[in-house]
Amino acid sequence: MTVRDLIDHPDRDHLIAGATALTSPAQGTTLIPDPGRENRTRWAAPLRDGATVADALPLICGMGILGAVHTLGEQRFRPCTAPTCRGVFIDTTRPGSRRYCMPGLCVCGNRANVANHRARHAATRGRGANPQ
């Protein structure tokens, strides 16, 4: 199971089961005292001794997916609405209105907005043209 497969099929049960499987390298998850903040705790998910980055990545992704499902809901897992993009994302915006996978890079949203602008401009020119 891949993270992409989970996000592409955002059924709540599928997300939870898949993300739980991704967290299996952990030796349990717990709360520990946060050394930087008095009377606060943070999540800890210890890995076996000698674990590599490749062992940690599925755990990190699984915990992130579980947190997003719990906090935001499965409806926030969605595909990019740009017509030429196959990207997917988890919408973490407050109103839940994000439509494009990479808004900070202005790639997908910018392309769609430019295409819409050009189409409107072409339609306006076509209506205003005087056939002779």
Which carries the bigger pLDDT value, residue 57 or residue 43? 57
- Nearest residue to 12 (alpha-carbon basis) of 92, 76, 88, 100: 76
Compute, in degrees rounded to 10, the torsion defined by CA atoms 63, 13, 76, 104. 40
Mean pLDDT of 12-31: 88
> Residue 128 — pLDDT band, cuts 50, 70, 90?
low
pLDDT digits 0-9 by tens, 61-102: 999 999 999 999 999 999 988 888 888 999 999 999 988 887
Q: State the Cα–Cα distance between residues 105 and 107, nearest whole angstrom.
A: 5
DSSP state of 82: S
